[in-house]
A and B are shown apart, each in its own frame.
Chain A
Amino acid sequence: MCGIAGLFLKTPELRPKLGALFSPMLQEMSERGPDSAGIAIYREAGRGAQPCKLSLYHGDPAFDWKELARDLAAAMGGEVEVERIASHALLYASGAPAALRAWLLAERQDVRVMSAGHSLEIYKEIGLPAEILERFAVPQMAGSHAIGHTRMATESAVTTEGAHPFNTGDDLCLVHNGSLSNHHQVKRWLQRQSGARFQTENDSEVAAGYLTYRLSEGASIAEALEAALTDLDGFYTFAVGTGDGFAVLRDPIACKPAVLAETDDWVAMASEFRAIARLPGVESAKVWEPAPGRVYSWGTA
């Protein structure tokens, strides 16, 4: 079991309240996944000359992020700014997010790249959702959309790295309830096809890597998910975010739950309706269970 919650705002006026609307949704999914929790939130792009944002994690709470920023600036050029946020750091840089990620993965293997892109930030930790949401001040965050996950681990260890969401390409994130049975095979295939690098043994990171690869081939996220129906084997409900889109897919057997709700102002997705039940305007929302094997997408996904 795991819990998923996602909220995609259609009305820009609601953006200042994204974190406040989303946090109780994820908290409601605590019983479905008390091992770890994570939040992917799409906020404003980086700062002026540093439009790239990377969320990073290090196991040492006293880790010297400023030194890392200096090393990165020296290697990649441009100015790099860094802001410590609990066990994570948010790094602002220029250049291409993929190049920054590649440098970090190659040169600083003690640091985990939680996300790289322009608007996406990912925060995840072991523990209960309520504590984690508070630790990273998620209720105070503004943004356009957010996806979160509460994990009950089945397939790999309970670690911060094994927590969802997973980001493998610019501004793409994926959360997963289920388990994939062919992830070793897909991982080897991706490594051969594109030299993809993975940071964990987790099956869901492979699913994220798969979508990143399909996007790099020019697919839309909806097309990438259609292809996943053929190539990924196992049980899954996926919620996927991109810089300006949001998508949901359940496998054709559909053992893993999902509920969608939509109003003129927002689209919400969760493992169970109770996570959606207190959103403003829910009384008049269209509420339905996503059909097995059908891709649902919003924004430019």
Chain B
Amino acid sequence: MSTALMTAPEALDLDRLEVREVNRRLQQAEAGESFEVLNPLGRHSLAVGLQRAVAITLRGHVGYYCAGMNDGGRITVDGNAGTGLAENMMSGLVRVTGDASQSAGASGHGGLLVIEGNAAARCGISLKGLDIVVGGSVGHNSGFMAQAGALVICGDAEAGLGDSLYETRIYLRGTAGDLGADCIEKDMRPEHLSQLTDLLQRAGIDADPADFRRYGSSRKLYRFQVSNLGSY
């Protein structure tokens, strides 16, 4: 069998298969296999729970929780994604060519999430190590209580950016609404420029790292203050 035939993507049509059948096929695939999912039509929980480096393209808009818990899968949504895209992702790559609804990348532990369009509210909420690159703007309370990883925003951020932030780094090119509690602008040092340059390059987004500002935690909310000792 020729290499071309071996790597031709297998088509899975959701007009003929149930969501569970499609997910089972994707979850059981070997690393290196590739798939095209047709007619997603906004269905929920597509391409979730992958544990191997399987390449998947979903042709159209997807519903809630697409690519959830992804651990190694390389998943592209050729369209928009609903609530909870790539939530609790562990590793791998998830890319959306359109917009993502609220809570994209929520609680993500690792890997890279690229949203080429805009992300709605609460993007990267409770982030735990996943890197997110948004080509457009993000909605309110993005990066809420985010603990680790990076959130790159090429457009603007609505109010409440980085509220109650821990150690996630936020890079913003556009303007921010009112910053969230304990979120402050910080110096862009060489290691930050280098991280940002790498993330933009891996995301395939053409933006000049020099145009970005960095935001982080002022560490007043989550660090113990000795002056509060009397309260304990």
Contact = CB atoms under 8 A, between A and B. Distances in A.
A273 B120 contact: no
A154 B89 CA distance: 32
B108 to A, nearest CB: 20
A257 B83 contact: yes
Interface residue SS majority, chain A: loop
A254 B121 contact: yes
Contacts of B121: 254, 292
A152 interface: no
Contacts, number: 43
Given A272-B63, A273-B63, A273-B80, A292 B41 contact: no
A254 B139 contact: yes
Contacts of A73: none
A257 B101 contact: yes
B120 A277 contact: no
Contacts of A278: 41
A276 interface: yes
A273 B82 contact: yes
Interface string B63-90: 1100000000000000010110000000
Interface string A278-301: 100000000111011000000000
A257 B120 CA distance: 11
B43 A274 contact: yes
Interface of A: 254, 257, 272-278, 287-289, 291-292
29 contacts: A254-B102, A254-B120, A257-B82, A257-B83, A257-B101, A272-B42, A272-B63, A272-B64, A272-B82, A273-B42, A273-B61, A273-B63, A273-B80, A273-B82, A274-B41, A274-B42, A275-B42, A276-B42, A277-B41, A277-B60, A278-B41, A287-B61, A287-B98, A289-B99, A289-B101, A289-B120, A291-B139, A292-B140, A292-B158
